[in-house]
């Protein structure tokens, strides 16, 4: 059966990008529908209660940004924000945990780096600025400016923890835009930081979560949107129907046995990049090709718990990342019961480990039991754990993290130019300018403003 509908805007994708964009469009007074192919809203923000544990299957902590704070407060979740304590984060090097530097000054005092590496850090002040503006990898950039050891034990774990990516394959200009800009503007990174610190003062964003988990945010937005959010609704195609610069579209959606054609003045694609590429094939082929060139990494999230008495490590910290070359397969591990209250019973310690990524793509194909054994094998000697864990959850996110490879900026510029040339078409997602929830909220707000401006 085919039915018809009419809306001001159709947002395709019910992850945090699409939900936030739909929320701000509704706040602007537009008639908005959001359609999501899966049976739940929120995408990678997925929290669930298991016994006395609160488990995050996706992002568990986020950096507070103005746009994210505004969104959280707008939907009434401000009182539920919890801030992570000022605890250290660690990096595994040579089989041991070392506190990660928290700023430029602490780099010189950290035991994570050798004396030679620290001397090389100081010498960054005298490294000449690179000629030319060609893109280079994160690994090349950090090695050139700070040396091989910093690239291996500082930059590589950060890249694994943020993108689950390969620093030799990712674009420095896309992944480390502020550091690249400091070199270009001031001739060096440290020199630029010193000048920026003198002129503006240092401001550090807070690391936060929500009392009942990060999924509280998309869940609350979904509640507020109500019947204008369709779950289990797969978008089959988008067609441009306007003439002579007039913005008009038809969105074809399949929802169970029902097929719906929605007439709308604007379409916002807030899907994964490969899905957006497929939907853009006919209406914006250049953008489709550009977005289709962006690879994505898959990640398995394994949540385990042990009785606190079975863990000898103090667990005074937020967790750890792993430097390349260690005899560990996990990329890192968070300690949620150390970071926030009510994440585990007082008698237990909870752990969330990450496996897979661009350099271990086959890991997500392992059976759940194999993933649990892998994580237990890596954690036990490092943290002094004995006994069998309680398995809380194993969640696999396939093609979840876009990889900002060499030339990413040029690809995104091509996609943007092609999209902006089509009246009434908008795209937002974590493959443009940042994978963090805060950056996603910023882009969703900016996209909503652009839609409102175009329609009004």
pLDDT, tens digit (0-9, with 9 covering 90-100), for 301-349: 999 999 999 999 999 999 999 999 999 999 999 999 999 999 999 999 9
CA dihedral 361, 366, 369, 371 (to 10 degrees): -10
User: Could you give the percent of the chain with pLDDT greater than 70?
Assistant: 96
Res. 204 pLDDT band, cuts 50 70 90: low
The answer to whether the beta carbons of residues 206 and 7 sit under 8 Å apart is: no
The CATH classification of domain 103-199, taken from the options 1.10.3110.10, 1.10.3720.10, 3.50.50.60, 3.40.50.300: 1.10.3110.10
Kindly give the residue spans of alpha helices, DSSP state H, lying in 226-311. Answer: 273-279, 285-292
Reported as half-sphere exposure (CB side, CA atoms, 13 A), residue 154 has a value of: 26
Q: What pLDDT was estimated at residue 75?
A: 97
Give φ, ψ of 231 to 5 degrees: -100, 155
Q: Where in the chain is the domain with CATH 1.10.3110.10?
A: 103-199
Q: Where in the chain is the domain with CATH 3.50.50.60?
A: 2-41+215-294+406-455
34 Cβ neighbours under 8 A, 6+ residues apart = 10, 11, 12, 13, 14, 18, 19, 22, 225, 228, 229, 230
Q: What pLDDT was estimated at residue 201?
A: 47
The C-alpha angle with vertex 446 and arms to 438 and 288, in degrees rounded to 5, equals 95
Q: Tell me which DSSP letter residue 422 carries.
A: S
Res. 106 pLDDT band, cuts 50 70 90: confident
Res. 16 pLDDT band, cuts 50 70 90: very high
- Asked whether residue 296 carries a pLDDT value surpassing 70, the answer given is yes
pLDDT digits (tens, 9 = 90+) for 345-389: 999 999 999 999 999 999 999 999 999 999 999 999 999 999 999
Q: What pLDDT was estimated at residue 456?
A: 80
- Asked whether residue 101 carries a pLDDT value surpassing 60, the answer given is yes
pLDDT digits (tens, 9 = 90+) for 248-283: 999 999 998 899 999 999 999 999 999 999 999 999
Res. 245 pLDDT band, cuts 50 70 90: low
Mean pLDDT in residue range 117-121? 94
The answer to whether the beta carbons of residues 211 and 342 sit under 8 Å apart is: yes
Q: What pLDDT was estimated at residue 5?
A: 79
Sign of CA dihedral 326, 56, 255, 274: negative
Strand order in the sheet with 296-307: 96-99, 89-93, 319-322, 332-334, 348-356, 296-307, 390-402
Q: What is the pTM of this model?
A: 0.93
Sign of CA dihedral 63, 64, 70, 72: positive
CA dihedral 401, 67, 412, 282 (to 10 degrees): 90
Mean pLDDT in residue range 198-216? 77
Cα–Cα distance between 83 and 209 in angstroms, integer? 6
Q: Quick one: 2-41+215-294+406-455 is in which CATH superfamily? A: FAD/NAD(P)-binding domain (3.50.50.60)
Res. 107 pLDDT band, cuts 50 70 90: confident
130 Cβ neighbours under 8 A, 6+ residues apart = 136, 144, 183
pLDDT digits (tens, 9 = 90+) for 156-192: 999 999 999 999 999 999 999 999 999 999 999 999 9
């Amino acid at each position: 059966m085919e039915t018809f509908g009419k809306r001001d805007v159709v947002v395709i994708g019910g992850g945090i990008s699409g939900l936030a964009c739909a929320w701000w469009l509704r706040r602007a007074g537009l008639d908005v529908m959001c359609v999501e192919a899966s049976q739940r809203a929120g995408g990678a923000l997925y929290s669930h209660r298991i016994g006395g544990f609160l488990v995050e299957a996706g992002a568990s902590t986020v950096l507070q940004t103005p746009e994210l704070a505004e969104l959280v407060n707008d939907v009434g979740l401000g009182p539920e924000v919890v801030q992570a304590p000022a605890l250290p984060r660690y990096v595994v090097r040579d089989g041991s945990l070392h506190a990660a530097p928290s700023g430029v000054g602490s780099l010189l005092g950290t035991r994570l780096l050798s004396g030679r590496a620290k001397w090389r850090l100081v010498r960054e002040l005298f490294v000449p600025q690179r000629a030319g503006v060609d893109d280079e990898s994160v690994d090349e950039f950090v090695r050139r400016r700070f040396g091989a050891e910093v690239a291996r034990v500082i930059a590589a774990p950060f890249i694994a923890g943020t993108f689950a990516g390969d620093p030799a394959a990712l674009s420095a200009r896309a992944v480390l835009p502020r550091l690249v800009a400091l070199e270009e503007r001031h001739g060096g990174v440290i020199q630029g930081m010193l000048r920026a610190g003198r002129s503006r003062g240092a401001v550090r964003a807070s690391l936060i979560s929500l009392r009942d988990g990060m999924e509280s945010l998309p869940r609350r937005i979904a509640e507020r949107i109500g019947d204008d959010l369709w779950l289990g609704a797969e978008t089959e195609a988008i067609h441009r129907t306007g003439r002579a610069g007039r913005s008009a579209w038809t969105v074809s959606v399949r929802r169970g046995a029902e097929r719906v054609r929605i007439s709308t003045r604007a379409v916002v694609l807030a899907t994964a990049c490969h899905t957006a590429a497929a939907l853009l094939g006919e209406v914006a082929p250049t953008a489709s090709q550009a977005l289709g060139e962006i690879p994505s990494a898959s990640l398995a999230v394994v949540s385990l718990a042990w009785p606190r008495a079975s863990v000898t490590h103090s667990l005074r910290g937020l967790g750890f990342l792993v430097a390349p070359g260690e005899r560990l397969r996990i990329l890192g591990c968070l300690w949620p019961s150390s970071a926030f209250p009510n994440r585990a019973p007082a008698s237990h310690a909870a752990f969330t480990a990450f496996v897979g990524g661009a350099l271990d793509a086959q890991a997500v194909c392992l059976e759940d039991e194999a993933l649990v054994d892998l994580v237990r094998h890596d954690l036990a000697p490092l943290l002094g754990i004995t006994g069998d864990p309680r398995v809380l959850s194993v969640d696999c996110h396939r093609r979840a993290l876009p990889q900002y490879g060499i030339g990413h900026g040029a690809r995104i510029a091509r996609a943007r130019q092609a999209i902006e040339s089509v009246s009434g078409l908008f795209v937002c997602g974590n493959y443009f300018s940042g994978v963090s929830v805060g950056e996603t909220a910023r882009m969703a707000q900016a996209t909503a403003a652009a839609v409102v401006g175009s329609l009004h």
